[in-house]
Chain A
Amino acid sequence: MSRAALRARPESELPPRIRRPSLMTLVIVLVVGGLLVHGWTQGATVRPDSLASGVFRLGEFLEDAVPPDASRLGPILKALLVTVEMALLGTLIGAVLSLPLAVLAARNTTPHWSLYAVSRAVITISRTIPDLVWGLIFVIAVGLGPEAGVLAITVDVMGFCGRFFAESIEDIDPARIEGLRALGAPRTGVLVGGVIPACMPSFVTTSMFALESSARSSVVLGLVGAGGIGIELATSMTLLRYDEAATIILAILVVVVVFERVSAAIRRRVLGGGQTA
């Protein structure tokens, strides 16, 4: 068909260039648009004058913070060690507890729909309440200190890992399970021998992401009294000892970067593990 004939074809015979949006799409666009306009003009507005003065005050902060004061390096490192331990312990306990939770919360491995519903509810609650709020709750429950921080991180990791572990189990190739069921293997055998090894790369990478997140959370949790370096940082900032705060911030930066590097290296190793042929 010639180009002229193609051009002569009426537009009404062709599929529309843009599909007419559904009512739901229009409502979502209007609500989100309304919130953005309201936020910019009334609520969470960013005014140019406050931004300019803020930059000036930031300069003052930097002037006071440099050079960092390392005179309290000992106590800072001790608090940092507590923070690292909080992150490691909380992540480990959370990831281990996530495993049975995920088995119950995956459609293809749950023994009963009621257990599925309960485990999904536990995961949802753990995920939707922010770690800082969990920190406040556990400070009330067990008092100030790293114990509250470990518990807060554990629950947060359970929500994160529980969900992604369960999704990974649901995504498993059904052939793996069928192959073991056909052997007459018991349910636990299928789980331990088939499902968990098949999902292990996903479990490890998810746990490593959780560890990175926990390293950051453990710092912030200190601000609400859940132990670690956070409380040191809050004290230095409150007493306007910005040079000491700078030392703490640099130490936190080093620790978080180390966590991310180690986590990334482990993920690479696990994901590339099968390419040995």
Chain B
Amino acid sequence: MAAPAPHLTAPPAATATAIDVSNLSVRYRRNGAVSLSRVGLTIPDGQIVALIGTNGAGKSTLLRCLVRLIEPAEGAVTIGGTEVTGASRRTLRQVRQDVGFVFQRFHLIPRLTVFHNVVHGAMGRHGSRCAWPLIAPRHVRAQAMEALGRVDLASYAGRRVETLSGGQQQRVAIARMLMQQPRVILADEPVASLDPASANSVMDLMSGIAAERGVTVVVALHQIDLALRYADRVVALRNGAVQFDRAARDCDAAQLSSIYAEESS
């Protein structure tokens, strides 16, 4: 079946640009297959963008490319006016300090305590001193407790992360991200491994933080209902390319579900 033509409509009116992506392409190192193909996106400050698409559509690759956890083959990424592609290691670290990344599998250190993991969030700004709470500055320790309070896990500070439920671990990851005081949040299927109640709680938390702080959010999701409920804009990816990009208010659930239906047919 031939791929449907992209339906492109203008995204909501922009203020300053938070993320600018142009002609971004990624190839797998092993076999040279294309994972992202000439993707272009401009995301204004404070917008919440949902990336949808089937497994392998390129959502995770795109998010990782934005902070060069995956190196793009070509194209350019700018975050907050700083060019990410081609940036030196030092500049890249500075960009990453301002970008909170929430992963599907949390990416915490399971053996360490909740508090210890949250303190790690300050490593971008304060360096290796924050690798261990023992030597972390006092204000960082206090800030970590504030962040844990924000995600309602202050009473779990001394517990090992591996003893918590998936939803709680994701909230720890969000608390760690809060330590970065991010201007942009990238979330790669943050609720994919959570039950519906935990998924709603995590999405409420992220959208609340975004609203409080005017943070730009790009979140990869499979749940159409969550995308429509929380996002200002929906970008659908298919085979590594943007299939459509439009304001969430202009989309409906049936239309977005068709992305998945087309893939499985």
- Measured CB to CB, the residues of A under 8 A from B are 175-176, 178-186, 188-189, 192-194, 197-198, 200-201, 273-274, 276-277
Asked if A175 and B107 sit within 8 Å, CB to CB, the answer is yes
Asked if A184 and B160 sit within 8 Å, CB to CB, the answer is no
B149 proximal to A (CB < 8 A)? no
How many angstroms from the CA of A276 to the CA of B123 in the assembled complex?
28
Q: Which of chain B's residues have a CB closer than 8 A to the CB of A176?
A: 107, 109
B6 CB, nearest partner CB in chain A, Å: 30
Instruction: Please pick, from B93, B106, B111, the residue contacting A184 in the complex, using a CB distance under 8 A.
Output: B93
Offer 16 A-B interface pairs, CB within 8 angstroms, sorted by A.
A182-B96, A182-B103, A183-B97, A183-B121, A183-B180, A184-B93, A184-B95, A184-B180, A185-B93, A188-B128, A189-B131, A192-B128, A193-B120, A198-B110, A200-B111, A274-B111
B204 proximal to A (CB < 8 A)? no
- Measured CB to CB, the residues of B under 8 A from A are 67, 69, 93-99, 101, 103, 105-112, 120-121, 123-125, 127-128, 130-132, 160, 162-163, 173, 176, 180
How many angstroms from the CA of A277 to the CA of B107 in the assembled complex?
20
Q: Which of chain B's residues have a CB closer than 8 A to the CB of A198?
A: 109-111
Asked if B128 and A193 sit within 8 Å, CB to CB, the answer is yes
Q: Which of chain B's residues have a CB closer than 8 A to the CB of A273?
A: 111
The residue among B96, B99, B131, B173 with the most chain A CB atoms within 10 A of its own CB is B131
Instruction: Given A178-B69, A274-B163, check contact A184 B124 (CB 8 Å).
Output: yes
Asked if A178 and B97 sit within 8 Å, CB to CB, the answer is no
Asked if A179 and B103 sit within 8 Å, CB to CB, the answer is yes
The residue among A189, A198, A276 with the most chain B CB atoms within 10 A of its own CB is A189
Q: Which of chain A's residues have a CB closer than 8 A to the CB of B98?
A: 184
Q: Which of chain B's residues have a CB closer than 8 A to the CB of A178?
A: 69, 103, 107
Asked if A184 and B128 sit within 8 Å, CB to CB, the answer is no
Q: Apart from A179-B106, A193-B120, A276-B163, what 17 extra A-B contacts exist at CB < 8 Å?
A: A175-B107, A179-B109, A182-B96, A182-B101, A183-B97, A183-B124, A183-B180, A184-B180, A186-B127, A186-B128, A189-B120, A189-B123, A192-B132, A193-B132, A198-B111, A201-B111, A274-B162
Q: Which of chain A's residues have a CB closer than 8 A to the CB of B163?
A: 274, 276-277
B65 CB, nearest partner CB in chain A, Å: 12
Asked if A180 and B120 sit within 8 Å, CB to CB, the answer is yes
How many angstroms from the CA of A181 to the CA of B70 in the assembled complex?
12
How many angstroms from the CA of A183 to the CA of B179 in the assembled complex?
10
A276 CB, nearest partner CB in chain B, Å: 6
Asked if B111 and A197 sit within 8 Å, CB to CB, the answer is yes
